[in-house]
Amino acid sequence: MTTTQQPTRLDPITLSVLDSGLRTAVAEMKAVVLRTAYSNLWREAGDLSCGLLDPGGDIVVQGVGDIPIHLASMAMSLRGILDRIPAETIRPGDVLLQNDPYQGNNHMPDFFMAKPIHSENRIIGFAAVRGHYVDIGGPTPGSYYTLARDIHGEGLRIPPVKLYRAGEPNTEIFDIITANVRNPAERLGDMRSQYAGCVAAERRLLDYCERYGTDAVESAMAQVLDISEQRARAAFTEIPDGTYTFEDVCDGDSFDPGPILIKSTLTVTHDQVTIDFTGSAPQSRGGMNSPLGVTHSATLFALKAIAEPTSASNSGSYRPVTIVAPHGTIVNPAEPAPVVSGNHETSSRIADVVLGCLAQAVPARVPAAGTGSATVLLVGRENTVDDTIMYEVHGAGQGGNVTADGSHARRTSIGNTGNTPNELLERAHPVRIIGYGLTVDGGGAGEHRGGNGITRELEFTENVTVTIVSDRDVSAPYGLSGGAAGARARFVLTAPDATVTELSSKTPPITVRAGSVLRVQCAGAGGYGSPADRPLADIQSDLDDGYITAAAAVRDYGVVIRVDPARADGELVVTRP
């Protein structure tokens, strides 16, 4: 589907005003959701995204700082709804909801809500919020059952439904959801915050219709998409025509530890780009499959980030792009394959291989691989009376690039969530944070070093169920132009009797006794350029700041370390041999 083109074009000043107004509406929408949300995952970490879409399902405006993996797929999610609930049956006050990965959604914890906006007896757009629900039922707290053999084992699946009809809540749907999830009060609170955000955007858009006219608002939305398409096409002409291929792997699933191949072939022809994932692995037995909407989001994010990062991203930007994802593969699984981990683990690798292709075409623009994992840690109490669930993602490293070192301890690539303060985690969950900081020696060596990820060490104060969903504990994030790979992830559990167990990055739900200590060490990021070209001053700075150890400096950069009695406390000094 494409947007309906309006017969008149707006003058530049009116278009600019309405374009800014649309962005403001989405920003207000996001603020409302954050201020009214119940879960720490929304209120503190911001694991949600907002957007305005046109009647055809194209996303016109997305929230600044939202989650890349949530956004491009919004169009597919809305179209999945409209395929089941035709637009002519939608009335003012209706609210639409779904979480089905096989009808355009991401994984099932990401609930997509859309409120149609009516003006002059027609739908002029949809206000939409996608947010990750901390629990959607299933066998284990947090609904990341990594041993599920199909999607039915991953929790509650809601096909496209009307959550509200003509402004009145569809109580049967609310009852189905709250009866199937843990901590239903928190889930209901987050759902209401989604609704509040949609209402806020609707009010703002209707205000614009009253002030400027409905035709003008519709024209502005259409022109915004057209302008984005023109900018994207202009940007693609700056990439040399050709075909570029790259591949990387995910580290298996909970059934098979063998690598899962992701292969991408990127073809640039003047102002058009085709990305073909033919050659990627067949769909996996476990939940590492990436639904088609997720594959599109990851691919389009990587392409946009390199080709045209400064302008707005919307469906207009995506018009010159063709994505080929063969059915029945890891990047487009056949129903009912499980998908819960693919949303952020496999999608990260999809982005990595697209970036790897672009590194061949425009090497000066592309950084080395980032950590490439959300590193999800889920902790649930065994006591079912208190069913609060800790869902925490971890910041990681950004790859080095042609001009600078990679940043530390940040969500990179397809994710953009923040961290939850340790004090809130300790208050809400049976954990005590022992350590939280940068992983030393995590970044790959290079002329420009890769960033370090985060290491978190926590003690459990009660018996709990723990699930880890991560990656890069076997394969390492790649370096570029001679840079070294980043350090691999590591997960270590120490029992109260001092027994030490190395865990994999795809840990099925395990019961952990009170007094146990878990160390979660995220992977680092790749370096850029030869380590031999890194200035001594930068190596010295890394050593002084604790980013690397003396042993790593000697091993990776071939320097000599000596104690300088002239420096305070006999500090170490880096010199060339």
Three-class DSSP labels, 78-101 = HHHHHHHCCHHHCCCCCEEEECCH
Q: Where are the alpha helices (DSSP H) in 465-575?
A: 536-545, 550-557
pLDDT reading at 569 higher than 90: no
For helices 214-236 and 292-307, give the axis angle rounded to 10 degrees: 70
* Sequence-ordered list of residues with C-beta below 8 angstroms from that of 499, at least 6 positions apart, any chain: none
Terminal-to-terminal C-alpha distance of the chain: 64
* pLDDT mean across residues, the chain: 94
3-state SS, 134-165, equals CCCCCCCCCCCCCCCCCHHHHCCCCCCEEEEE
Per-residue pLDDT of 506-563, as tens digits, reads 998 999 999 999 999 999 999 999 999 999 999 999 999 999 999 999 999 999 988 8
| Spatial CA neighbour of 111 closest among 33, 58, 59, 167 | 33
* Sequence-ordered list of residues with C-beta below 8 angstroms from that of 312, at least 6 positions apart, any chain: 23, 61, 62, 224, 228
In the chain, the amino acid numbered 400 is G
Q: Which residues are 437's β-sheet partners?
A: 455
**What is the reported pTM?**
0.95
Per-residue pLDDT of 126-153, as tens digits, reads 999 999 999 999 999 999 999 999 999 9
CATH class of 12-226: alpha beta
Residue with the bigger pLDDT between 562 and 186: it is 186
Domain with CATH 3.30.450 in the chain: 12-226
pLDDT reading at 281 higher than 50: yes
d(CA 33, CA 383): 30
